[in-house]
Amino acid sequence: MTVGIALVGLGDIALGAHLPALLRNPEVEVAALVDPDAGRRALAAGRTSAPAFAEVAEVLDDPRVRGVVLATPPWVTTELIGRVAATGRFVLAEKPVATSLKAAKPLAELPADQRERVQVGLTYRHDPALELLRDWLAAGRLGESLLVRAHIYDERRDPGDPAHAERIEETLRHGLPVIHEGAHVFDWFSFLFGGPPDEVADGWALATRPGLAAPNLCGARLVYPHRTVVLAEFGWLTDALPRCELSFLGDRAHVLLDGHTFRMELTTVDGVEQVAFEPDRTTRCFDRQLARFVELVTGARAAPAPDLADGLAALELAERVAALAGGGAR
């Protein structure tokens, strides 16, 4: 018996990662595709024989659809989560689940039986590299108090791809880069350090050129338990970007985590250890995320992980940083 899943929103992440994962999973049948943009529907049509619709309403009375993957922009996702969960279906919703905590209010008020059917697409916490790093931290392999530097740089402005720059500039209208990227990164820290920071000590934001809807660079200093200090930076839309990487420095070791591949380099007095998992990060994380969602739909898993509370916690922290940095979500 396969599980019927509809893919709603056929943009970059849907066609680049969700649809391939759905097609790879032998337990899944892609039951429907939804996007108001006919061009996106046409792009998806060549990849599967599933019927494509312009409106999510058109799949919500199809009994074959037991789960829905929402790969929509965050200003659309919020309302869709409630609408789909209210029909008794399971939802895997892309992060962030809203553009602000205020916009997320309906989600915080969802009835418990609906919340229990919502898994949030904080995809990379499923990565075995993060699980291994968490084990190292818990075992004290690095030391107790750490200095963590998170340099989260993405979405380079490519002069050859003005449509991409335009789309990211539009996203900037809905909040600083930390609102969009922070959802993942603060979830990694919550996963690694076992909960939220004790304090967001300060924040900053900077626009590298006039005319942007919000600053394209921002950052913050956060203090986690055991006096671990995190210096986090987020940046988009410059012609060149620094490396995207995270570094964890403790009394006994240093770990460098590549922000795109999650390859790790652990340096101790005993030498340097390289750790890399197969296949590539996108494939392994989207596959593991989907496997857990299928377990939720079939009842093999009792509760979603990560759940709506995790998604809202990451959003709350990202918003606190954005407010402190002086360029909150509009």
Q: Which of residues 147-166 bind ligand NAD (CB under 6 A)?
A: none
Comparing CB distances to ligand NAD, the nearer of 94 and 245 is 94
Are the C-beta atoms of residues 229 and 149 closer than 8 Å to each other? no
Cα distance between residue 157 and residue 140, in whole Å:
40
Q: How far is the CB of 285 from ligand NAD (least distance, A)?
A: 8
Q: How far is the CB of 227 from ligand NAD (least distance, A)?
A: 31
Chain position whose Cβ is nearest to ligand NAD: 11
Structure tokens at 67: 């789960």
Q: Which stretch binds ligand NAD (CB under 6 A): 31-39, 106-114, 142-150, 246-254?
A: 31-39
HSE of 250 in the Cβ direction (CA atoms, 13 Å)? 22
Are the C-beta atoms of residues 101 and 320 closer than 8 Å to each other? no
User: What distances in angstroms separate CA 258 from CA 23, 121, 248, one per listed residue?
Assistant: 28, 20, 12
- Residue 174 touching ligand NAD (CB under 6 A): no
- Residue 123 touching ligand NAD (CB under 6 A): yes
Q: CB within 8 A of 155, min separation 6: which ones? A: 164, 168, 177, 236, 237
- Residue 180 touching ligand NAD (CB under 6 A): yes
**Contact characters 36-75, ligand NAD, x per CB under 6 A:** xx--x---------------x--------------xxxx-
Comparing CB distances to ligand NAD, the nearer of 38 and 303 is 38
Q: At what angle do helices 128-138 and 177-193 cross, to 10 degrees?
A: 50
Quote the Cα angle for 95-101-103, to 5°. Answer: 85
- Choose which of 29, 65, 94, 259 interacts with ligand NAD (CB under 6 A): 94
Binding positions for ligand NAD, rule: CB under 6 A: 8-14, 34-37, 40, 56, 71-74, 76, 94, 121, 123, 180
